[in-house]
Amino acid sequence: MKDLEKIIYILKQRGFVFPSQEIYGGLKGVYEYGPLGVLLKNKIKNLWLKDTVFKRENIFLIESSILGLRKTYEASGHLEHFHDLLIECKSCHQRFRADHLFEGDYGEVNYKEGKALCPLCQGELTEARTFSLMFKTYVGPVEELASEAYLRPETAQGMFYNFKNVLNSMRPKLPFGIAQIGKAFRNEITPKNFLFRMREFEQMELEFFVKPEEASNWFEYWVEERFNFYLKLGFKKENLKKHVYPKEELAHYSDATVDIYYNYPFGFKELEGIANRTDYDLKRHSEYSGEDLRYFDEEKKEKYYPYIIEPSVGLDRLLFAIFVEFYDEDEVDGEKRNVFRFPPFLAPIEVCVLPLLSNRENLVKKAQEVYKYLKENDFICVYDDSGSIGKRYRRQDEIGTPFCLTIDFQTLEDNTLTIRNRDTTEQERIKIEELKDYLKEKLKF
């Protein structure tokens, strides 16, 4: 089992993830991303975009608003359905989500006279009451029902109420998709498990519109595509699982749902959900807005509501899975080493350039030249000349930099340098003029 506390400590020390607003005591369920965290997040977003949007035809990217009308969330069903059941302990005042409590997330639940007891202190529990997960606010100066607005709890609704806008402007035929990456907000009762359950998080969602009779085939297709995406990212197959929902556990809008589970340090849990949302969303938005959101099928000469297949993943949950999957510890030259074995295409820093000795002007000058050359060629690159070469290598290992380029005395003679491989720690010598192609090849997705 990987030591989560240690990983979280490294992530903070090395500028990946910080607790939120720590200097004021912190904000629970919210995190800040540091310089390396942002680089890694951007890489993940770009890979998702490449795989889900840009390599395909007829998938369009949008950015919809975070603030949503009350009407939008009445139509979506969120105001009616998006609740959790909250139970509190009367003694220790710990709050639980009822489903998590009874699924054993807090340990075994004992009963007294038929009533469940607090798993933490065996105290008496309150009755379950509903708790809305939506963050409410008001638009404009007057706090009244008409100005009520909500922070979106998922990006999906933006794709539904913009369905006609995309259809009319881009003129696609079924099947086609609308995709989006953006923030979502849920007032989770018990945010926990680091980046797994947050109150402010980011989603990467695709709404894929299809002919109703083709929906189940497209559903199967997307389950496979999305599962394979994680294999392409380098996850071990045994750390992934498909969880098929039984009919009685499906959400109100869903006809079929498969979750992709990842083996987090606290067990296999949902990383991504793929749902067949049927025509629920477009029908509801038509009904509530009065706009006809049906699609006109020119071949069939008829109008109908397309079905929607939705693969939806939390970027932060994926980032968390990546940290867990690729963190490793080993020994190099008799010394313990912490290392993130990110595949090169995921690494936040791709290359580090180091002069062998920092007090030799000619080595420093040459190293700076190589560093500038790589920057100009769009590699994500850092320069480091502080401390012993071994210490510098270790610092890069700990942030997952796959390649360290060392400029030594031979470089000055024949324009070659050494490339150190993070995983094997082996070095090979290569001509500087071959560097660009070499690195491009190694960094390919």
Q: Does 226 bind ligand ATP (CB under 6 A)?
A: no
Subset of residues 113 to 132 that bind ligand ATP, contact rule: CB under 6 A: none
Q: How far is the CB of 383 from ligand ATP (least distance, A)?
A: 35
- Residues 338, 344, 347, 349: is their CA dihedral positive or negative? positive
Q: Does 188 bind ligand ATP (CB under 6 A)?
A: yes
Q: Does 178 bind ligand ATP (CB under 6 A)?
A: no
Q: Does 316 bind ligand ATP (CB under 6 A)?
A: yes
C-alpha–C-alpha distance, residues 155 and 310, integer Å: 11
Q: Does 255 bind ligand ATP (CB under 6 A)?
A: no
Nearest to ligand ATP of 14, 226 (CB atom): 226
C-alpha–C-alpha distance, residues 48 and 181, integer Å: 9
Task: Please count the residues of this chain forming the interface with ligand ATP, following the rule CB under 6 A.
Answer: 16
C-alpha–C-alpha distance, residues 55 and 69, integer Å: 34
Cβ distance 211 to 52 under 8 Å? Answer: no
Nearest to ligand ATP of 14, 152 (CB atom): 152
Paired tokens of 330: 């080993």
Q: Does 78 bind ligand ATP (CB under 6 A)?
A: no
Q: Does 309 bind ligand ATP (CB under 6 A)?
A: no
Cβ distance 123 to 116 under 8 Å? Answer: no
C-alpha–C-alpha distance, residues 320 and 325, integer Å: 9
Q: Which region among 160-168, 271-279, 362-370, 420-428 touches ligand ATP (by CB under 6 A)?
A: 271-279
Cβ distance 402 to 379 under 8 Å? Answer: no
Q: Does 392 bind ligand ATP (CB under 6 A)?
A: no
10 Å Cβ neighbour count for 34? 16
Q: How far is the CB of 271 from ligand ATP (least distance, A)?
A: 6
C-alpha–C-alpha distance, residues 400 and 301, integer Å: 56
Position among 317, 366, 392, 420 found at the interface with ligand ATP (CB under 6 A): 317
Q: Which region among 4-12, 208-216, 285-293, 307-315 touches ligand ATP (by CB under 6 A)?
A: 307-315
E-state strands within 324-410: 327-332, 335-340, 351-355, 381-383, 403-407
C-alpha–C-alpha distance, residues 250 and 247, integer Å: 6
Q: How far is the CB of 188 from ligand ATP (least distance, A)?
A: 5
Instruction: Please name the residues in contact with 299: beta carbons below 8 A apart, sequence gap of 6 or more.
Output: none
Q: Does 384 bind ligand ATP (CB under 6 A)?
A: no
Nearest to ligand ATP of 150, 403 (CB atom): 150
Q: How far is the CB of 186 from ligand ATP (least distance, A)?
A: 5
Position among 311, 314, 355, 402 found at the interface with ligand ATP (CB under 6 A): 314
Q: Does 186 bind ligand ATP (CB under 6 A)?
A: yes
Cβ distance 340 to 399 under 8 Å? Answer: yes
Instruction: Please name the residues in contact with 278: beta carbons below 8 A apart, sequence gap of 6 or more.
Output: 212, 215, 253, 254, 255, 307, 308
Q: Does 312 bind ligand ATP (CB under 6 A)?
A: yes
Position among 96, 185, 201, 262 found at the interface with ligand ATP (CB under 6 A): 201
Q: How far is the CB of 35 from ligand ATP (least distance, A)?
A: 22
Nearest to ligand ATP of 105, 297 (CB atom): 105
Q: Rule CB under 6 A: which residues touch ligand ATP? A: 154, 186, 188, 197-198, 201, 203, 270-273, 312-314, 316-317
